[in-house]
């Protein structure tokens, strides 16, 4: 049974044709733009990090190992099969795609998986502590942030990845202790707002601590707001970030 959008979102629908807020994008273009958009949000640890995007035919799109997220174009995106073999693309795929495939295998809801070492979330992962929520933007997503604290180096061994996938369970997002983050999503829009919210929440909490502390938002407010946005999406945010990327990097569509 489908749930109707809340009243706050009534009348919202993606525009098409003359009134489209973004051009029509291929999956490869979507993924390339997502890489650029998240790079601007702090997912910028040189060439580290990878995003996998499950397709209807069972294959996965993934960003190249060799390229930083702010230089990727649609034609750079790689396609791999369920065994991790490159079936389209001119670059190499990171061995760490094994973790993504392990999670995709047990999570039908996780069509997008993001891993990177964003600045502020990585600090909290080093502290092995989940930050509190102090502002509305940090409350765009509800639910606990999983702390996975069994770091054993890069995740590219079958047994280790299967264990990590099991430990993560149905988490929307996780801090990987002394490492970075992992974010899941059913589609590009949901994965984007989850990843942005995670880093924003970590950044704001770090700054609040730097001035001696603050008062967190009531949990019920975070739950209500975050549940609404996570379920239905934040209207126009993804489209605005697409336009921002295209203004700065129009070659991303190539």
Residue 74 CB: number of other CB atoms within 10 A?
Answer: 19
pLDDT band at 60 (very low <50, low <70, confident <90, very high): very high
The percent of residues in the chain predicted with pLDDT above 70, rounded, is 89
Question: Is 15 inside any structural domain?
Answer: no
Strand order in the sheet with 180-185: 86-88, 78-80, 60-62, 50-54, 112-116, 180-185, 173-176, 146-148
Q: Could you tell me which residues come within 8 angstroms of residue 7 by beta carbon, excluding any fewer than 6 positions away?
A: none
Q: What is the CATH number of the domain that holds 32?
A: 3.40.225.10
Rounding to the nearest 10 degrees, give the CA dihedral for residues 215, 38, 236, 224.
-30
Per-residue pLDDT band for 1 (boundaries 50, 70, 90) equals very low
Q: Is residue 144 part of a domain?
A: yes
pLDDT in the model for residue 19: 54
Q: Which domain holds residue 185?
A: 25-248
> In this predicted structure, what is the pLDDT of residue 117?
97
Query: CA–CA distance from 19 to each of 22, 88, 211 (Å)?
Result: 9, 34, 45
Let me know: does 53 contact 62? Beta carbons within 8 Å.
yes
206 domain residue, yes or no? yes
Beta bridge partners of 115: 50, 182
Residues in the chain: 254
Confirm whether 98 is domain-assigned.
Answer: yes
Q: In this predicted model, what pLDDT tens digit does every residue of 192-223 receive, in sequence order?
A: 999 999 999 999 999 999 999 999 999 999 99
- pLDDT on residue 160: 73
Write down the pLDDT at residue 48. Answer: 95
The beta strand positions in the chain, using DSSP E, are 50-54, 60-62, 78-80, 86-88, 112-116, 146-148, 173-176, 180-185
pLDDT at 8 (0 to 100): 59
Residue 18 domain flag: no
pLDDT band for position 64 (50/70/90)? very high
Domain count, the chain: 1
For the segment 96-103, the average pLDDT, to the nearest whole number, is: 90
Share above pLDDT 90 across residues of the chain, in percent, rounded to a whole number: 78
Q: What is the pLDDT of residues 67-90, one digit of tens each?
A: 999 999 999 999 999 999 999 999
10 within a domain of the structure (yes/no):
no
**Predicted TM-score of the model (pTM):** 0.91
Distance separating alpha carbons of residues 114 and 120, to the nearest angstrom: 16
Q: 253 lies in a domain?
A: no
Residue 168 belongs to some domain of the structure:
yes
Residue 88: how many CB atoms within 10 A of its CB?
12
Tracing tokens 């999670």 back to the chain, one arrives at 103
Check residue 74 and give its pLDDT. Answer: 98
pLDDT: is 98 or 41 the higher one? 41
Looking at residue 203, its pLDDT comes to 98
């Amino acid at each position: 049974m489908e749930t109707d959008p809340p009243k706050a979102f009534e009348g919202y629908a993606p525009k098409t044709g003359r009134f489209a807020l973004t051009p029509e994008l291929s999956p490869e273009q979507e993924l390339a733009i997502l890489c650029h958009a998240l790079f601007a949000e702090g997912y910028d640890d040189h060439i580290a990090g990878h995003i996998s995007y499950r397709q209807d035919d069972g294959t996965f799109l993934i960003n190249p190992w060799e390229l930083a997220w702010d230089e990727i174009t649609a034609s750079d995106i790689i396609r791999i099969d369920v065994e991790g073999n490159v079936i389209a693309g001119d670059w190499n795929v990171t061995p760490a795609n094994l973790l993504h495939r392990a999670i995709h295998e047990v999570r039908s809801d996780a069509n997008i998986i993001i891993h990177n070492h964003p600045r502020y979330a990585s600090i909290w992962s080093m502290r092995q502590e989940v930050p509190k929520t102090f502002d509305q933007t940090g409350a765009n997503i509800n639910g606990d942030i999983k702390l996975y604290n069994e770091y054993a180096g890069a995740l590219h061994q079958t047994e280790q990845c299967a264990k990590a996938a099991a430990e993560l369970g149905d988490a929307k997002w996780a801090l990987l202790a002394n490492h970075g983050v992992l974010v899941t999503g059913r589609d590009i829009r949901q994965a984007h707002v989850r990843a942005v919210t995670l880093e924003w929440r970590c950044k704001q909490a770090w700054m609040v601590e730097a001035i001696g502390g603050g008062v967190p938002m009531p949990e019920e407010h975070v739950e209500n707001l975050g549940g609404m946005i996570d379920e239905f999406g934040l209207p126009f945010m993804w489209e605005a970030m697409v336009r921002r990327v295209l203004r700065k990097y129009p070659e991303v569509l190539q």
